[in-house]
Amino acid sequence: MKRLHAGDGLIQLVARVLFCALLATGALGQAGPEGAANAAEEEFADVDPYTKGKPELVKQAGYVTLQPFTFAEGIQAQDMVEILGGVELLWAETAHFKICSSLKTYRSKADQQENDAIDRDIAQLARKVSTFKNQRGATLDPWLRLHLYALRLERLYAEFCQRTGFSDADFPPVGTKPGMGSGPWLGQKLKPTVLLSEKSSTLGRFTRQYVKREESYSQRYLLPGGSMFFGISAEALRENGFELDSALHCALAASVVSNFLDGLCDNSWSSPLWLNIGMGHWFCRRIDERFAFYADGTSRGEGDQHVWKPRVRALVDNKFEYSWADMLATQEWAQFTPQAHLLIWSRIDWMMSHDPAALRKFLEPVAVKLQVEKPEERAKALIERAKAGLLAGFGKTPEECETAWRAWVRKNYDR
């Protein structure tokens, strides 16, 4: 089956949008204004050059399929083809994700930290399939980029589970374990979905169709049937000064972790915003500390903008007033100051220093669907649930967490 090209379509979906704060039509096989008919556009190989399309190598590399598939409930491959406007698309279904990519060839920006990280990832791919073994990070063709992001997403999923004390075994088929959600993917019935878009207009077409608003930078969304979706544009990142592949990797990790939290045990976006922010910062900074997305105002200028530990230590030493109780009560994006971003990240760092069982006990009362509608009732419920989680996981009230965390920072963070 040949890879599919995109055109135009029309489907109505119900949406929920999380605000992200960083900052051609034709029949099947015909190319729109951004399609392969445009001589300036890169054409993708029809068959993956690494697995050669051989079923045994596809399986060995860890894929369910590299052929077009049903993206989410009611969104067939043909629908994607008709919506995305003629761009070239590659497809990968892994154990825990469905991925669609229009990312084009990436060439090294001579950043040694990034090059080393890419080479390590390619070496990990080579341990699965030997055809990757002579590749290096200087040039990443579209298929290799797809393989790298599939690897990275699966690794993120595994680390999230390991760090939070959950496993696939905790989420059996629908209805067989009450309280753990509606399906096997962290409690979701459908696999998480990811759109890696080279161009902003491609992501915009998707969101215009399915979200009923045009978002050309990035978008988190609940697709029909319960698939937690994230889409991002590499072009939008570049236009904001983030040209490295590492920046795209970090932005992806931050938002996908938020999707994990908002879908965990099928809690229907009931995870507190401060937790999503802090966990997103924590996971993406483990990839590359230079890129902490959705952390407005944390830059301190060239050179040391990404060095957060001394800045947190200074806030603690100077008795900066943003307590754990204040953090739990912070409910709106506009309330998160630069200092709040730093402190929330550090508090997640403290939480992650504990045994994963503690994180799981914390999350169990937090990852439950809220049954309240009024904003004031929701805010109160989120605070009470977080308090219950802190007591269950760490045996402490917010005030006691404050004392323990401050002592931990003084011990572990240099001035």
Q: Are residues 260 and 302 in the same domain?
A: no
Residues 244 and 370 in one domain: no
| Residue 91, phi then psi, degrees to nearest 5 | -130, 140
Q: Is residue 29 over pLDDT 70?
A: no
The answer to whether residue 29 sits within a structural domain is no
Segment 43-58 mean pLDDT = 96
Q: What is the pLDDT of residue 203?
A: 96
In a domain, 20, yes or no: no
Q: Same domain, yes or no, for 307 and 169?
A: no
Has residue 106 been placed in a domain?
yes
Q: Would residue 282 count as lying in a domain? A: yes
Res. 7 pLDDT band, cuts 50 70 90: very low
Instruction: Please provide the average confidence, as pLDDT, over all residues in the chain.
Output: 88
Same domain, 312 and 237: no
Q: Is residue 49 part of a domain?
A: no
Residues 85 and 222 in one domain: yes
Q: How confident is the model at residue 300 (pLDDT cuts 50, 70, 90)?
A: low
Range of the domain at 237: 55-269
The answer to whether residues 246 and 288 belong to one domain is: no
Q: Which range has the worst mean pLDDT, 66-70, 247-251, 267-271, 292-296?
A: 292-296
> Could you tell me if 252 and 286 lie in one domain?
no
Residue 289 shares a structural domain with residue 329:
yes
Whether the predicted pLDDT of 296 surpasses 80: no
Question: Per-residue pLDDT tens for 169-196?
Answer: 999 776 566 789 889 999 999 999 999 9
Please say if the pLDDT value at position 34 is more than 70: no
Q: Is the pLDDT of residue 78 over 90?
A: no
| Out of 49-63, 175-189, 304-318, 353-367, least confident range | 175-189
Residue with the bigger pLDDT between 68 and 294: it is 68
Do residues 265 and 297 share a domain?
Answer: no
